[in-house]
Structure 1
C-alpha cells in the first residue's frame, strides 16, 4: 500500500515527461564487445538464458559476449557455450568503470535495474546501454534512466500475464533483432549427470521433492501447512522425500522430518546448482514455492510440478516446461499480485490452506 502511494506521487510529478521508448531509441548497432549484467535471482537467470542464446544467434560468432553475475549464480552459467567470458561481480571489485574500460565494451545489457552498473556504464562512456523500462515498478517515466540508458526495452507491469521468460526474450525484438527459438536450457557436464545418478540410485521411487524456502520471505508458506502436506503425501504414496538447497537451509528440513516422523533425504549443501538441476530429472513430483526450484524443475522436465504462489503473479512467473504437468496453486485476491511482496495480513498465503494443495495433488498420477 505504501509503495503504491509513493509510485503514484512520482508518476504524478513526472506525467508530462512520460518516456515513449519506441520513439526515442536510436538504432541498435551490432557491437564488437558486449557485456550482459545478469539478474541477481537464480530463477531469473534460468528464464533469461533463451535471450542470451538468441542474442548470440543475432550477433554471430565474431562478437564477444561476456556476462557478469553474482558468485552464487556462476556455476549455473559457466558452461553456456554461447558466452565468451564469465565474471563473478565479487571478483571485479568496486571499480566497475575501470573494468568496463579495460575490457573495451561498447555495449552493455542491464537487467533488473542494476543501478550501480548503469552509473558505471555511463561514466565509462559505453556507447550502447540497454535496460528494461520501469513498468514492473509501476513507474511511467524512468527518470533515473533518462541519461544513464541509451536503449529502453519494454518490461511489463506486475499485473501483466506475459511470462517473464518471454519478457526477457522479447527485448531482442525491441532492438530489431530476431527470435529463433524459445526453449530453456542448462548445460550439464558428465560429472553433473553422474553425480545425480549416483545419488538417485540410493533413493527409491517414486521420488517427491519439497522446496519450502524462497529468496523473498514474503513468499513463504506456514511450516504447519508443510507438515500437514508431507504427512498426507507420506500416507498416500509409498515414496521417498527429497530436499535440495543451500547448506543453511538444511536445519529447516531436519525440523520438518522430526515434526512429521517422515524421513527426508536432505541434500541441502551437497550439490551445486547444475547438479541440483540434474537431480530434478529424477523426481516424479515436486511441490515448491514460487522460487528457483520451480524453474529448476521446468528446465529438468520434472514430470509433475506443483507451485504455491503468494503475492507474486502466477502467470508472470509460471515455469516454462511444455512437456511437464504444471499445477499452480494460489489464492485469488484483489490485492494480488503485490508490488512489495509483504504486508500485514498476508492473506494470499495465510488463507491458502493445505487442502487446496492436496486437491490439486489428488489429480496427479505419479
Structure 2
C-alpha cells in the first residue's frame, strides 16, 4: 500500500503475522480471540492450518489468507514442512505465533526465516522459538491471546470468538428448511466417549421438544452418524440426522439458523458458542474452567465430581457418573429458561 505525499509515493509497511494454527476445531475457534486482538493493531493475519480448517477460517473476517497443509496430526512430515517453510520466505512475515506446543509445529516458521517466532516452551523448542513464553494462563483462550501481547502484559482482555456465516449459503438454507423452532444436538466428541452425554438422554429431550412443536437437527462428523441413527431409533420420532452429511462450513451456516443447541464438550460446541446461540454445554471428563464455551448465551452443566475432570477417553471407573447424573429434566429446564 502507498500514499501520495508532496508528490512522492510513500510505501506503508503493514505488519504481517503468520499464525501456526491448532489441529482441533474447538481450539481453532478459540484462536479467533487472538486474531481479534491482533487485528486491533492493524496487522495482516495469515493462518497456516490443516486443510479441514479452511472453511472455518473463511468465516473469520480477521484472517487475510488461510494457508492449508495436509500433514496429518502427529506426523513429523520433515520434508513437507521444510519445503513449505522455504516457500513462505517470500512472504516476509515479521512474526510467527505458534499455537501448538509441539516441537515439529515450530519447524515451518524457522525454515521460513521469520525473525520473531513466538510460542510457549512446549517440547523444549529453544532456537526454533526465539520469543519464548514460560507461564501459561489457566484458560486455553487466554493462552492463545497472551501470545499476541507483550511478555510483560499485566492484563489479558479476551474478546469472544464470533463466526460470520456465509450469506449465500444462508439464503439457500432458509429456503430449504422450514422456519420453526429448531433444536440442534451435537452428541459426538472427537476425544472419546468419556465426553459424551448418554444417547438415551438425548432421545428423551428429542421426544419432549418434538411434542412442543420443535424440529431437531443432529450434527457431527461421519463417525458420529451411528450416534445420530441411535438417537432417532430411541426417540421414535422424526429428526434430521446431518452427521457426516455436511462440511464444517455448512455446519456453521446451519447452526446459525437454529434456536438452541445441546452439545458435549466438542468442536461443534465452540462453533455454536461463536455463533452466539443459546447453548447448553455438557461437561464430563474435561474441565469447563479451561475450555469453556465463550458466549454469554451459554450455560454449562458440570457436576464437579471428585473423579472429574479425569481427561480420559473412557471412564476409568466404568460408571460415567459425571454425565449420567446430569438428567434430561435438568437440561429441559435450562432450555425453558432460554
Give the SS at the match of 2:31.
helix
Instruction: Tell me the distance in 2 between the aligned counterparts of 1:196 and 1:53.
Output: 28
Instruction: Tell me the distance in 1 between the aligned counterparts of 2:175 and 2:325.
Output: 33
Offset of residue 37 of structure 1? 0.9
Tell me what 1:356 maps to: 327
- Is it true that 1:330 corresponds to 2:302 in the alignment? yes
- Is it true that 1:111 corresponds to 2:99 in the alignment? yes
Tell me what 2:5 maps to: none
Offset of residue 354 of structure 1? 6.0
Tell me what 2:6 maps to: none
Tell me what 2:166 maps to: 189
Matches within 5 A, 1:276-291: 276-291=251-266
Instruction: Tell me the distance in 2 between the aligned counterparts of 1:354 and 1:263.
Output: 27
Tell me what 2:9 maps to: none
CA distance 1:199–1:321, change in 2 (3 Å): farther
Q: Deviations over 1:255-309 (max 9, x none)?
A: 221222021112234433333223223322211101122222212221x311111
Offset of residue 51 of structure 1? 0.9
Tell me what 1:227 maps to: 203
Structure number having the greater helix percentage = 1
Q: Deviations over 1:87-122 (max 9, x none)?
A: 111189742223223322453211122432213444
Determine if contact 1:128/1:150 at 8 Å carries over to the other structure: yes
Tell me what 1:24 maps to: none
Offset of residue 123 of structure 1? 5.1
| More divergent stretch after superposition (275-284 vs 148-157) | 148-157
CA distance 1:363–1:342, change in 2 (3 Å): closer
- Is it true that 1:41 corresponds to 2:24 in the alignment? yes
- Is it true that 1:53 corresponds to 2:41 in the alignment? no
Give the SS at the match of 1:146.
coil
CA distance 1:358–1:167, change in 2 (3 Å): farther
Tell me what 1:86 maps to: 66
Give the SS at the match of 1:359.
helix
Tell me what 2:274 maps to: 299
| More divergent stretch after superposition (148-157 vs 192-201) | 148-157
CA distance 1:36–1:343, change in 2 (3 Å): same
Q: Deviations over 1:1-36 (max 9, x none)?
A: xxxxxxxxxxxxxxxxxxxxxxxxxxxxx9954321
Instruction: Tell me the distance in 1 between the aligned counterparts of 2:59 and 2:186.
Output: 25
Offset of residue 171 of structure 1? 2.5
Instruction: Tell me the distance in 2 between the aligned counterparts of 1:288 and 1:258.
Output: 19
Tell me what 1:312 maps to: 286
CA distance 1:79–1:328, change in 2 (3 Å): closer
Q: Deviations over 1:160-209 (max 9, x none)?
A: 4x4x33332232224468988713222333212213322332xx532111
Instruction: Tell me the distance in 2 between the aligned counterparts of 1:321 and 1:106.
Output: 32
Tell me what 2:317 maps to: 345
Give the SS at the match of 1:253.
helix
Tell me what 2:4 maps to: none
Runs (5+) with no aligned partner, structure 1: 1-29, 135-141
CA distance 1:286–1:189, change in 2 (3 Å): closer
CA distance 1:296–1:199, change in 2 (3 Å): farther
Q: Deviations over 1:311-354 (max 9, x none)?
A: 111122221122x2x2211221233223455452155x334336
CA distance 1:133–1:115, change in 2 (3 Å): closer
Determine if contact 1:154/1:174 at 8 Å carries over to the other structure: no
Determine if contact 1:220/1:310 at 8 Å carries over to the other structure: yes
Instruction: Provide the aligned C-alpha RMSD in A.
Output: 3.1
Runs (5+) with no aligned partner, structure 2: 1-12
- Is it true that 1:205 corresponds to 2:180 in the alignment? yes
- What TM-score results when the alignment is normalised by the length of structure 1? 0.74
Tell me what 1:77 maps to: 57
Determine if contact 1:329/1:356 at 8 Å carries over to the other structure: no
Instruction: Tell me the distance in 1 between the aligned counterparts of 2:61 and 2:152.
Output: 24
